[in-house]
Chain A
Amino acid sequence: MMRRLWRAGAAAVFVAMACAKPPAPAPTTPAAAPPDLARAADSIAAARRDSAAAAARADSLARAERERVRADSVRMSVQRMSADTAPQAVAGGLAAADSALLAEPIHFDYDKAEVRGADQAPLDRKVSVLAAHPRLEIRIAGNCDERGSTEYNLALGERRAASAKRYLLAHGVAAARVEIVSYGKEHPLDPGHDEGAWAKNRRDDFVVTKGAR
C-alpha cells in the first residue's frame, strides 16, 4: 500500500519536473562533456519525458474515445428508446476470487457519500486486482435507499460513485478505466422498508465492463 502510494507520488514528481524544465540537460551531465554525450543524456531525458507524457496522453485519449463512444451510444439509445438494465458484468476470464473482490459493494451512511473507513480495505483489494489486470475496466454504480426524493437521490448516487472513483484514482488506477453512473433509488437490492434494507441499498456496485478476458 505505502509502496504503491510512494510510486504514484514519485511518478507525479517526475512528470512535474519533466514538464517544468523541458530543455534542461540531465543534472549529472558534466558541463565539459563531449557534445555527443550531452546529446545522448538529453535524448534519454527527453525519452523519459516523452514516455510519461505519452502515457498521460494515451490515458486522456482513451478516455476521450470512450466518452465519444458512450455519447454515441446514449444518442442511439434515445432514438431507439432502449431501456436501461441493471449493470451486467462481462463474463469470464477473471479468476473467481478476483471477480468476487471486484464485485464486492461498499456502503454509505444515510445521505452521505464519503467512503467509510471500513470500506477502504475492499477498495484497496480492487486496486490490487486492477493493477494485476491492466486491461480491466469497470463501472461504479451509485445507489440510494428509498428515503428522500427521486431526483435528489440521483445526485446523491452520482456523488457516491464519484467518491469511490476518486479513491481508486488516488491509488493509481487510470481515470480511463473507471466510469461512473447513478441509479438513484431506482435499483434497491432489498425491497424492505426498514434500516436493515436501507443500509444494504445505500451502496456502490462495481461491474467489469471490459477486459475480463
Chain B
Amino acid sequence: MRGGWLAAVAILAVPAGLRAQDSGSAPVGVRVGITYTPGTRPSIAVLPVAATALDSVRATLLRDLDYSDRFELLSPPPTVAMQGGAPNYPALTALGTDLAVAVVATGGVAGDVDVQLHDVRTGSVRNRLALQLPAGGEARRLAVHRAADEVVRWATGSPGVAATTILFVSDGRLWRVDPDGAGLANVPAAGRPTLSPAWSPDGRTIAYTAFVPDGRPLVLQDLASGSREVVPGTEYGVNITPEFSPDGRRLAYAHGDENGTDVYVYDVARRCCVTRLTVGRYYDNLSPTWSPDGQRLAFISSRPGSPQLYVMSADGSDQEALARFDFGSTGQSNGPEWSPDGQAVAFHREVGGVPQVFVLDLATRAVRQITGEGRNEDPTWAPDGRHLAFASTRGGVRQLWIVDLETGRLRPVAATGGARLPAWSPRRTFFSEAP
C-alpha cells in the first residue's frame, strides 16, 4: 500500500532531463544556469477527494501547485491520508509534511466547495476559501486556478500564477494559452502577421502591431468585446513593441519612419498626446519596458553600433547603457522586460550568433545567462517575478518554455508549436471574458 502512494509521488517528480542545469557555451565571466536546491521547499500534501466529481478539480489544483515550483508535492492515497472522512494528521506528520490541501464539497448547491489548507501539526484548518465552481469550461478552470494561487499565498506569503494566460504569435496569428498548457485558443486580431502583443495591467486590453496592406499600426483591442482602435499617429511608418505603463494610463512604443526608429509614449487614459522620448539619427531605439514604479524605461538602442540594453527616465532624460557590453564583441541584445518586483530586467542576447535568455540584476548590474541549449528568445515575466516564459527551439521545434529562476526547473508549454513573442498576462481577477 505504502509502495502505491510512493509511486504516485514519484510521478510528480520532475524528469531529470528537465531539471538538469541548462548549461551551454558561455562567455567567460557569465554564470550559466541556476542552482537547483531541493529541500528548501516545504512539503505539501494534496488530499484525496470524496466525490469523483471533484477529481478533475483536485488534478488541476495538484498541477498548479506543482507548477508553482514552491513545494515538494505529496499525493498520498485515501488509505494513508484519510481516516473517517477527515485528514489523518498523525499519518501525514509521519510522511514529513506540515501542510495539507483539501477540496471538500459543502453540499447544498452543486459546485459549492471549500478549499482548505490544513496545519498538520496542530490538526486544524489554517485557511479556507468557499467557492462556487462554475459548471465547466474555462470559467471552472479559472476558478480552480485562482484557488490554487490562494493556497500558494497561504503557504508561502505570495500568490501563485496559475490564474494567468500567455499571449503569443504563431504562424502570424495571435494565440493564448494558460501556463499549464490548457485553454489554447486563437485571439481574433487585426493584421497578418500580428506581432508583439502586450497586456494592459488590468488584463482587459491588449496592444499589438498589425501588418495591414498599407501600414504597421499599433492596435488597442478590448479582449471582451474585440473592439479595436488604432493608436493615433501609428497609421504611418512602422510601429512596434508596445508596452503599457504599470498604472495602465500610458503606452510606450517605438515608431519608425524615414528618420529612424524612436521611443514614444501615448497617453491612453486621455486618448491624446504623443510624447517623443528618444531622438536617434541612423540608429534605432525600441522595445521600451517600464519599471514597476513607472519612473524609468529600459529600452534597446543600436547607438553603439549593435542593439544593446539602455535605460532612461520616463521623460526621456538620463539615457545610459544598462547592461555592460563590449563594443564589437557582445552579441545583439533585444526583447527586454522589466521584472514585476523591479529588481531585474530579462532580455535575450546573442551568444555565438544564437540568442539566449539573460537576466540583469539591477542592484549589481551583473548579467546571468539563463539558457544555453537551442535558440531562446523574448523572455516574459510571470506576475510572481520568478518564472519566465520564452520561445525556445531546445525541444526541436520552437515553442514556449517556462523556467523557474529559483529552482532552475524548465518545462515546455504544450501545444505552442511555432510560438514567438510571448506576453504573460497579469493575474486574472475576473471570470467573464472573451474569447
A residues near B, CB below 8 A?
A: 67, 70-71, 73-75, 77-79, 81-85, 111, 113, 147-152, 154-159, 162, 165-166, 180-182, 186
Quote the shortest CB–CB distance from B394 to chain A (angstroms): 17
28 contacts between A and B (CB under 8 A): A70-B214, A70-B236, A71-B215, A74-B217, A74-B230, A75-B230, A78-B190, A78-B219, A78-B230, A82-B190, A83-B191, A84-B192, A148-B307, A149-B307, A151-B241, A151-B421, A152-B286, A152-B300, A152-B302, A154-B209, A155-B284, A156-B284, A157-B238, A159-B282, A159-B284, A181-B216, A181-B238, A182-B256
A187 vs B118: C-alpha distance when bound (angstroms): 57
Using known A-B contacts A152-B334, A155-B238, A155-B240, determine if residue A82 contacts B213 with beta carbons closer than 8 Å: yes
Give the chain A neighbours of B216 by CB distance below 8 A: 154, 181-182
Contact A79 B211 (CB under 8 A): no
B395 close to chain A: CB less than 8 A:
no
A181 vs B213: C-alpha distance when bound (angstroms): 10
Give the chain B neighbours of A152 by CB distance below 8 A: 284, 286-287, 300, 302, 307, 332, 334
Contact B334 A155 (CB under 8 A): no
Contact A83 B211 (CB under 8 A): yes
Quote the shortest CB–CB distance from B346 to chain A (angstroms): 14
Interface stretch (choices B65-73, B90-98, B257-265): B257-265
B348 close to chain A: CB less than 8 A:
yes
Using known A-B contacts A151-B287, A158-B256, A182-B256, determine if residue A81 contacts B190 with beta carbons closer than 8 Å: yes
Give the chain A neighbours of B196 by CB distance below 8 A: 150-151
Give the chain B neighbours of A159 by CB distance below 8 A: 256, 260-261, 282, 284
Using known A-B contacts A78-B190, A81-B191, A85-B213, determine if residue A180 contacts B258 with beta carbons closer than 8 Å: yes
Give the chain B neighbours of A155 by CB distance below 8 A: 238, 240, 254, 256, 261, 284, 286, 302
How many A-B residue pairs have C-beta atoms within 8 angstroms? Tell me. 139
Q: Which of A71, A113, A157, A186 has the most CB of B within 10 A?
A: A71
B420 contact from A67, A150, A154, Cβ within 8 A: A150
Using known A-B contacts A78-B219, A149-B377, A182-B238, determine if residue A111 contacts B284 with beta carbons closer than 8 Å: no
Give the chain A neighbours of B238 by CB distance below 8 A: 154-155, 157-158, 181-182
B148 close to chain A: CB less than 8 A:
no
Give the chain B neighbours of A77 by CB distance below 8 A: 190-191, 210, 212-215
Give the chain B neighbours of A157 by CB distance below 8 A: 238
B residues near A, CB below 8 A?
A: 172, 188-193, 195-196, 209-217, 219, 228, 230, 235-238, 240-241, 254, 256-261, 282, 284, 286-287, 300, 302, 306-307, 332, 334-335, 348, 350, 353, 355, 377-378, 420-421
Contact A71 B256 (CB under 8 A): no
Quote the shortest CB–CB distance from B158 to chain A (angstroms): 31
Give the chain B neighbours of A75 by CB distance below 8 A: 217, 230, 235
Using known A-B contacts A78-B219, A159-B284, determine if residue A148 contacts B332 with beta carbons closer than 8 Å: yes
- Further 5 A-B residue pairs, CB within 8 A, beyond A78-B191, A154-B216: A71-B236, A78-B212, A83-B212, A84-B191, A84-B192
Quote the shortest CB–CB distance from B261 to chain A (angstroms): 4
Give the chain A neighbours of B332 by CB distance below 8 A: 111, 148-149, 152
Contact B258 A150 (CB under 8 A): no
A81 vs B188: C-alpha distance when bound (angstroms): 9
Quote the shortest CB–CB distance from A110 to chain B (angstroms): 10
A151 contact from B192, B217, B286, B350, Cβ within 8 A: B286
Contact A149 B213 (CB under 8 A): no
A111 vs B332: C-alpha distance when bound (angstroms): 10
Quote the shortest CB–CB distance from B398 to chain A (angstroms): 12
Quote the shortest CB–CB distance from A177 to chain B (angstroms): 14
Contact B286 A84 (CB under 8 A): no
Give the chain A neighbours of B287 by CB distance below 8 A: 151-152
Closest chain B residue, CB of each to CB of A80: B190
Give the chain A neighbours of B256 by CB distance below 8 A: 154-155, 158-159, 182
B236 contact from A67, A148, A149, Cβ within 8 A: A67
A186 vs B353: C-alpha distance when bound (angstroms): 19
A70 vs B196: C-alpha distance when bound (angstroms): 23
Contact A186 B193 (CB under 8 A): yes
Closest chain B residue, CB of each to CB of A166: B258
Closest chain A residue, CB of each to CB of B173: A83
Quote the shortest CB–CB distance from A64 to chain B (angstroms): 11
Give the chain A neighbours of B306 by CB distance below 8 A: 111
A111 vs B237: C-alpha distance when bound (angstroms): 20
A159 vs B280: C-alpha distance when bound (angstroms): 12
A67 vs B210: C-alpha distance when bound (angstroms): 18
Closest chain B residue, CB of each to CB of A85: B213
Contact A162 B192 (CB under 8 A): no
Contact A74 B378 (CB under 8 A): no
Give the chain B neighbours of A149 by CB distance below 8 A: 307, 332, 334-335, 348, 355, 377-378
